[in-house]
């Protein structure tokens, strides 16, 4: 056993639907006890300190300790092409993405990028992600091999695209090869250790009806797998989907007809949705990955977080970098963009709502809340240690916080924490990440000196 002591922040409830102060659990001096790969106990140091006085304890002073961040939509093969200039979705795919992803035919190359990608996620405090690969099964093997070495919880799957003309011929698979390879990969990797498999049609436009039907067949044969794809990202894309699937009443209906919509189905983006589509996403308990960095970078549009998190049509929502279309690996930077996307629609994304989406909200959107997302004992010890003052600007801002000192001390502490955490959400990135634990193991630690 070992323990971590410091200030902890996680969530008990969804702050979009509950009073924020009731939804959050903030311990100014807490202790988290780790037994093997899981959390054995968690609470205030005052209450539990004596009980665990013999346990080796690492103390993080002046830090904020949170559950590891969850990135619900990201493309590992695009690591090297992040920040590609000048195009919107379909042109961006053709000009940059497929030429890059073709390199993943080579398994050794794929493995090398998978290691780099996972190390970058860890340096950014991300401990779980839902990950796109390529049409080449060896790129999936390489990824899960890299994950297995780290005992990290990742969801990924062979990323199918079989529609002629949508990608270079040598990149395309077929409905049959996609089905056979997916089955093979599910058997090999799904629920082996912490690995989880997502049936992954890249996006409706990229797949023939036959390939989407094969996805439905796979979901029927392996009902506990995830389904991960893109939806309603770009106007030109949406128009072409309508042309390719005239029998479907809208983009979501293409997936509904394939039988893949429901719990554990994640649609990346879902920017341009009708009220009816929101209703169907809500009633089917499907989830959306909100990818504001990508949506701004490719000029795709503004996701309506207030509609997705409405009382009328509540949809499960997590956040995604969508790196390489998103221009960062950092969930903190994604939250910065999320704040601005909300602001452009006269909405306010508070720090607690933002951090919820990045942790317990993400876990719930993937139906993984029994395993990750908060510090409840029994969950895996996936933890990020954050410095809320990693830069001179953030330190100066924090020192000059205006706090109402007439209020009780505990309330003042909370107000200060929220002030600093919001600064970190808006100005932070990997510089704010001090250490990252996965399955109880310290897998990333920042080197060098820090500004306090």
Could you list the residues that contact Zn ion (CB under 5 A)?
Answer: 268, 322
Q: Which segments of 291-382 are extended strands (E)?
A: 316-319
CA distance 443 to 424: 22
Report residue 32: phi and psi, to 5°: -120, 120
Q: At its nearest, how many Å lie between Zn ion and the CB of residue 320?
A: 7
Q: Which helix (H) or strand (E) holds 398?
A: helix 392-399
Q: At its nearest, how many Å lie between Zn ion and the CB of residue 228?
A: 9
Q: At its nearest, how many Å lie between Zn ion and the CB of residue 303?
A: 13
Q: For Zn ion, which is the closer residue by CB, 68 or 268?
A: 268
Q: For Zn ion, which is the closer residue by CB, 83 or 191?
A: 83
Q: At its nearest, how many Å lie between Zn ion and the CB of residue 299?
A: 15
CA distance 78 to 104: 10
Q: Which two tokens stand for residue 42?
A: 């968690």
- Nearest-CB residue for Zn ion: 322
Q: At its nearest, how many Å lie between Zn ion and the CB of residue 230?
A: 5
CA distance 180 to 349: 44
Helix, coil or strand: residue 347: coil
Residues 332, 431: contact at Cβ < 8 Å? no
Q: For Zn ion, which is the closer residue by CB, 216 or 268?
A: 268
Q: At its nearest, how many Å lie between Zn ion and the CB of residue 326?
A: 8
Q: For Zn ion, which is the closer residue by CB, 268 or 292?
A: 268
Helix, coil or strand: residue 253: helix
Q: For Zn ion, which is the closer residue by CB, 81 or 426?
A: 81
Q: At its nearest, how many Å lie between Zn ion and the CB of residue 268?
A: 5
DSSP 68: P
Place of tokens 């001390």: 409
Q: For Zn ion, which is the closer residue by CB, 207 or 217?
A: 207
Report residue 173: phi and psi, to 5°: -105, -165
Q: At its nearest, how many Å lie between Zn ion and the CB of residue 380?
A: 26
Contacts of 324 (CB under 8 A, 6+ apart): 75, 78, 79, 81, 82, 83, 84, 96, 97
CA distance 178 to 452: 52
Nearest Cα residue to 289 out of 314, 316, 268, 261: 268
Residues 78, 323: contact at Cβ < 8 Å? yes
> What number of CA atoms fall less than 13 Å from residue 255's CA on the CB side?
30
Q: For Zn ion, which is the closer residue by CB, 74 or 332?
A: 74
Q: For Zn ion, which is the closer residue by CB, 131 or 172?
A: 131
Tell me the CA end-to-end span of the chain in Å, nearest whole number.
Answer: 30
CA distance 363 to 370: 8
Q: At its nearest, how many Å lie between Zn ion and the CB of residue 159?
A: 10
Q: At its nearest, how many Å lie between Zn ion and the CB of residue 309?
A: 21
Burial class (CB in 10 A: 0-12, 13-18, 19+), 404: exposed
Q: At its nearest, how many Å lie between Zn ion and the CB of residue 94?
A: 15
Q: For Zn ion, which is the closer residue by CB, 233 or 418?
A: 233
The β-bridge relationship of strands 433-438 and 441-445 is antiparallel
Q: For Zn ion, which is the closer residue by CB, 322 or 337?
A: 322
Nearest Cα residue to 52 out of 42, 67, 60: 42
CA distance 386 to 63: 6
Q: For Zn ion, which is the closer residue by CB, 125 or 268?
A: 268
């Amino acid at each position: 056993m070992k323990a971590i002591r410091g200030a902890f922040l996680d969530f008990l409830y969804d702050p979009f639907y509950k009073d924020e102060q009731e939804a959050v659990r903030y311990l100014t001096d807490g202790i988290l006890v780790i037994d093997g790969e899981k959390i054995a106990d968690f609470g205030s140091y005052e209450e539990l300190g004596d009980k665990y006085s013999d346990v080796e304890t690492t103390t993080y002073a002046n830090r904020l300790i949170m559950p590891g961040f969850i990135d619900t939509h990201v493309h590992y093969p695009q690591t090297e092409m992040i920040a590609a200039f000048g195009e919107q979705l379909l042109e961006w795919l053709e000009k940059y993405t497929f030429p890059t992803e073709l390199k993943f035919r080579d398994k050794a190359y794929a493995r090398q990028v998978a290691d780099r990608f996972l190390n970058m996620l860890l340096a950014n405090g991300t401990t779980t992600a839902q990950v796109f690969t390529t049409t080449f099964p060896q790129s999936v093997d390489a990824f899960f091999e890299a994950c297995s070495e780290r005992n990290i919880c990742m969801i990924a799957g062979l990323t199918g695209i079989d529609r002629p003309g949508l990608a270079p011929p040598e990149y395309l698979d077929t409905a049959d090869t996609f089905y056979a390879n997916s089955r093979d990969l599910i058997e090999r990797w799904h629920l082996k250790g912490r690995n989880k498999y997502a049936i992954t049609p890249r996006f409706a436009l990229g797949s023939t009806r036959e390939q989407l039907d094969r996805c439905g067949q796979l979901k029927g044969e392996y009902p506990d797998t995830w389904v991960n794809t893109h939806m309603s990202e770009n106007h030109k894309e949406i128009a072409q989907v309508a042309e390719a699937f005239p029998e479907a009443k809208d983009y979501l209906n293409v997936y509904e007809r394939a039988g893949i919509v429901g719990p554990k189905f994640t649609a990346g983006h879902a920017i341009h949705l009708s009220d009816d589509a929101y209703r169907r996403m809500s009633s089917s308990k499907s989830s959306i990955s909100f990818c504001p960095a990508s949506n701004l970078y490719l000029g795709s549009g503004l996701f309506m977080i207030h509609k997705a998190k409405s009382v009328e049509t509540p949809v499960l929502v997590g956040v995604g970098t969508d790196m390489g279309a998103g221009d960062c690996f950092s969930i903190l930077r994604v939250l910065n963009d999320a704040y601005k996307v909300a602001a452009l629609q006269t909405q306010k994304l508070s720090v607690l709502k933002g951090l919820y989406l990045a942790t317990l909200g993400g876990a719930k959107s993937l139906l993984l809340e029994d395993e990750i997302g908060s510090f409840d004992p029994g969950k895996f010890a996936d933890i990020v240690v954050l410095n809320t003052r990693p830069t001179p600007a953030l330190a100066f801002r924090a020192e000059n916080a205006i706090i109402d000192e007439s209020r009780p001390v505990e309330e003042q502490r909370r107000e200060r924490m929220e002030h600093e955490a919001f600064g970190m959400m808006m100005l932070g990135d990997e510089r704010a990440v001090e250490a990252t634990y996965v399955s109880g193991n310290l897998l990333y630690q920042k080197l060098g000196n820090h500004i306090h």
